[in-house]
Amino acid sequence: MTTNAPSEFRSVGIAFFCQQVAEQSTWIATILYAYQRNGARTAGLFVSTILIVAAVVGPFQARLLERHAPFAAAFRQLTAGIAVLLLASLLIFVSAPEVLVWMGLGLIVCNSTTAPASLFALIPSTAHDAESLAIQNAHMGWVESAALVLGPLMAAGVLSVVSVRGGVAILTLTGGLLLVLGRLLLAGHRRTELATIQQVVSATADEVLESPQSEFALLRLPTLKTLAILTFGAYLTIGSLDVLYLPVAAAAGISESSAGLLAGAYGVGALVSFILARRVVGRTRLMLPLVIVAIVGSLAIALLAVTKGRVVGAVVLVVIAGACRSVFGSLHRVLLQRTSPAGSLMRVSGVFQVLVTLGFAAGVLVPWLAGSTVRACVATGMLLPAAMVIAIRGLGNVDDAANVPVTEIALLRRVAILRSLQPAALESLARQSRTREYHDEPIVVQGDVGLEMFVIVEGTADVWQSDQEGRHLLRTVGRGDVFGEIALMRRQPRTASVLAVGEVRVLAIPGADFVSLVGVHSGLASAVDVLILQRP
């Protein structure tokens, strides 16, 4: 797919902003709607219940979406979001029975589970290289932070002048209109994408996509397991803090209907941290700054316990917590992209979004279980540090696994059939590859089972084929040339032998990783098809 990457990124960024503003404003309104029914207990139980339902439904939504190309999947997800937001708004405007209103609000939360993941998975496709990908992650963190400011402030403004029920109706309607804008921005890129897709059937790739265990089996990988624990701890904290805004606001002397101001302060903190986030995300080792901002942000939340009657103190601490959360999120996104196996970023994003939802679901119960605002603040501030203690054995290994293999990536970028790969997929493929050396000896032998494909790093090699008439030299391959792909894609023995001429260094790419990439990247699939057809 040949498109203008900056234009794509702007479209994705604005669509993500619209989705996040809609989500944040309706989220605040939903919690307040439940809170005014019977206090924090009802808010906690209701929100926890619908988040658990969303976590159960989320994987099925993600499974349906991953059958579509990236922009088409995001486009469909936004369409579903428009439908559920407008439905909830209609139910409230027509004074539908309370149970139907709750169901409508529940559908909004269920849809919000997969919407960020579908848009997040688009980010790598808009970057030209690993450096621009890191910068775009920082920019997306800023976009999310801006939404964290505008969404709650919009909710606070609406809810301060109309009733809670009427405010929820207005905010869901506004959210639906925002998603319409996001959908329009992605429409052009979706049409371009669909026009260039060539369907390639790969039995191995189909097995990966169809396996019901394939997504959650990814969490067995040590680095992803460590990041999963940190993700769950982070969103336990955020879920609890979302409910804490109400009692903390009341204790600090802010009216409940204006509790969105505290959430807005959280977003302001995230906005002002953008420069710091942009400076650190480009580093090779990211775990130490991630741990530092996690501890500082958690400490700020715990200190909310001593801000009774101190509005300024509460706001300052929330700003600090928001700043740390933004930097943490940017670092987390980069680490997730760097450590995801080749071609699996969409699936990994979907699994982690389930962890986000479950973290929210459990987190909103913390204030209720704690019993008092002071204990709730202290407990909330301990959640992420506790997760880091649980994952402490793996913390030091994440950076080692996430180190960018610069040399291998530079080589793979020179390979014509791999030029369409997203930076994250290219980095992951490079990480799985291994360098080997040969001297006047066979690299592959005709008739052998093909488990790898190869890229020449240095030197040359002759490709020979034997038949009933004898042995024939087909071609000579040199630096940047690829061989061994036919046996992988057609699942047949090697069709020719490749003999090193003098000293030859090659990069061996695991066949399973390459075939899985072909199954999910239309540009790569098309390039491989053309290459195979050109082979003599």
Tell me how far CA of residue 442 lies from CA of 189, 399, 446, 462, 501, in angstroms: 46, 36, 10, 9, 9
Q: For residue 254, which of 308, 298, 209, 293 has the smallest C-alpha distance?
A: 308
The DSSP symbol for 305 reads G
0.85 surpassed by pTM:
no
- Burial pattern 282-302, b for ≥16 Cβ within 10 A else e, equals eeeebbebbbebbeebbbbbb
In terms of Cβ atoms closer than 10 Å to its own Cβ (0-12, 13-18, 19+), residue 385 is middle
Question: According to DSSP H, which parts of 303-451 are helical?
Answer: 311-339, 345-363, 366-370, 373-390, 392-402, 406-413, 423-432
How far is the C-alpha of 457 from the C-alpha of 434, rounded, in Å? 11
How far is the C-alpha of 249 from the C-alpha of 237, rounded, in Å? 17
How far is the C-alpha of 286 from the C-alpha of 328, rounded, in Å? 10
How far is the C-alpha of 193 from the C-alpha of 199, rounded, in Å? 12
SS3 121: coil
**Dihedral sign for Cα atoms in the order 372, 373, 375, 380:** positive
In tens digits, what is the pLDDT along the chain, a chain of 536 residues?
A: 334 455 778 888 899 999 989 988 888 777 777 777 666 666 667 767 777 777 777 666 766 666 666 677 788 888 888 999 999 889 888 888 878 888 888 888 778 777 777 787 777 667 655 666 777 877 888 888 788 778 887 887 888 788 878 888 888 899 899 999 988 888 776 665 554 333 323 333 333 333 434 556 777 788 889 999 999 999 999 989 988 888 888 777 776 555 667 777 887 887 788 778 877 877 778 888 999 999 999 999 999 988 776 778 888 998 999 899 888 988 888 888 777 776 566 677 777 877 887 888 788 889 888 888 899 999 999 999 999 999 998 888 888 776 667 667 767 777 777 777 776 677 778 878 888 999 999 999 999 888 888 988 888 999 999 988 888 898 898 877 888 888 877 778 888 999 999 999 898 988 888 887 777 676 777 777 777 776 66
- Burial pattern 95-105, b for ≥16 Cβ within 10 A else e, equals eeeeeebbebb
